[in-house]
Amino acid sequence: MKNEALFHELIRKKPVILAPLEDVSDAVFRRLCRKYGATITVTEFVNVEGLLRGCRNAKRKIALAPDDALTAIQIYGSDPTRLAEAARFAESAEPFYLDINCGCWVPKIAGRGAGAGWLRDPLAMVAMAKMVVQNVSVPVTVKTRIGYGPESDMPIVDLARRLEDAGIQALTIHCRTAQMGHSGMADWTWAQRAKEVVKIPVIVNGDVKTADDAKRAMDLTGCEGVMVGRRAIEHPWIFREARALLDHGEARPLPTHFERIDLCREHLIANVEARGEPYGVRVTRRHLAGYLRGLPGAAILRQRLLVEDGLSTCLTILAEADARLRPSLHPCS
Ligand SMILES: Cc1cc2nc3c(=O)[nH]c(=O)nc-3n(C[C@H](O)[C@H](O)[C@H](O)COP(=O)(O)O)c2cc1C
């Protein structure tokens, strides 16, 4: 199987993976996260019908950059045959591996049988995964939740065993039910229970917000890796912080004020290069508040930046902040 050896080599290194994030985990953000230590990155989910129709947006989402060698493509759909066909199509983009989304809780997706909708019929999910596995020559993984909710006993443990038999190479578990959406706490003990019954790697996901969380989640569950979603949007340094702790037992200092300002610049410039103005500036906004957190005067800085559409004005505002902070070199949180 293509990429299998490298896949397992990376799994042995306790990967910290950037989660698939709709409208966020694009080529620019994936590159930034890899720079800060993300072992593997995943595209946002791509609709199989869009892919098979040749829809421009779907094709854009699976287009991988030359430095995307360690990027997986995630697909979603409700029809096993269409998923298998789309998987073959996505394979032509040369992803590191293919991931099947069986965890999206949003009603317009789960309600139509895609995403977490598969959790309503775990055996159908397994048959679908098997069909996808048989149709491609790259590793196939599944990302799902612990159950649909509110089952008295979560299906994830039995499901993990069956998905392993179906031939998937790894399983990512977002430790909430579909009905929880993003609310409540992720219960990592379900990943632990699933891990106990399978040999394939299990990746634990949900509420990993710090390097400490990454280590605790792995220690508690015995999982091979962790996946980070929301925290990466505001603090992509989490990858290097987790790496330092996992690899060397070190607590890495938080980014300095200047690193924070530099990342705002870098992300704005890269997004404008990729998408032009003003769109490139606008799509960067959701990251800026997090990047600037803890900076003296951050609230005013944010207010000024979040209404600006022009790159050069944003860069001027950041240069002024940089100059104002020059004498202080203290890390902030
Ligand atoms: C803005 C946003 C977009 C998301 N898009 C996807 C997606 O495309 N595919 C997917 O499997 N999960 C998606 N998720 C779920 C995340 O991958 C992840 O499972 C979830 O946020 C829990 O992890 P966290 O606590 O680290 O954020 C998305 C979550 C957010 C907040």
Ligand 1 atom 18: the closest Cα is on which residue?
229
201 shares its domain with 271: no
| Average confidence (pLDDT) over 211-236 | 98
Q: Is 104 a catalytic residue?
A: yes
Nearest by Cα to 73 from 43, 36, 113, 31: 43
Residue 327 has pLDDT above 80, yes or no: no
- In this prediction, residue 152 carries a pLDDT of 84
User: Are residues 150 and 262 both part of a single domain?
Assistant: no
Say how many CA atoms lie within 13 Å of 58 toward its Cβ. 18
Same domain for 113 and 81, yes or no, is yes
| Strands (E) located in 125-240 | 140-147, 170-177, 202-205, 225-228
Q: Is the pLDDT of residue 208 over 60?
A: yes
In a domain? residue 330: no
The protein residue whose alpha carbon is closest to atom 12 in ligand 1 is 20
* Shared domain check, 270 and 199: no
Residue 153 has a pLDDT of 86
Residue 196 parent element (H or E): helix 189-197
What pLDDT does 330 receive? 56
Q: Given ligand 1 and candidates 26, 62, 174, which is best to mutate, with the most ligand atoms within 8 Å of its CB?
A: 174
Does the pLDDT at position 30 exceed 70?
A: yes
Q: Which of 216, 248, 280 is the last residue of a domain?
A: 248
Whose C-alpha lies nearest to ligand 1, atom 19? 174
The residue contributing the CA closest to ligand 1 atom 28 is 21
**Cα–Cα distance, 192 to 196 (Å, whole number):** 6
- Name all residues whose Cβ lies below 6 A of ligand 1: 19-22, 24, 44-45, 74, 101, 103-104, 143, 174, 205-208, 228-231
Q: Which two tokens stand for residue 122?
A: 């775990």
Q: What are phi and psi of 219, to 5 degrees?
A: -60, -45
Q: Containing H/E element for 16?
A: strand 16-18
Q: Check whether residue 237 and residue 272 sit in a common domain.
A: no
Residue 185 — pLDDT band, cuts 50, 70, 90? very high
Do 279 and 241 sit in the same domain of this protein? Answer: no
Number of domains in the chain: 2
What is the CA(317)–ligand 1 centre distance, in A? Answer: 31
pLDDT digits (tens, 9 = 90+) for 104-157: 999 999 999 999 999 999 999 999 999 999 999 999 999 999 999 998 889 999
- pLDDT score of 326: 84
Range of the domain at 261: 257-325
Catalytic residue among 33, 102, 104, 314, which? 104
pLDDT of residue 41: 98
> Final residue of a domain: which of 183, 217, 248?
248
Mean pLDDT of the chain: 96
318 plus 234 within the same structural domain = no
Q: Write out pLDDT tens, residues 33-72.
A: 999 999 999 999 999 999 999 999 999 999 999 999 999 9
**Comparing C-alpha atoms, which of 162, 178, 9 is closest to residue 107?**
178
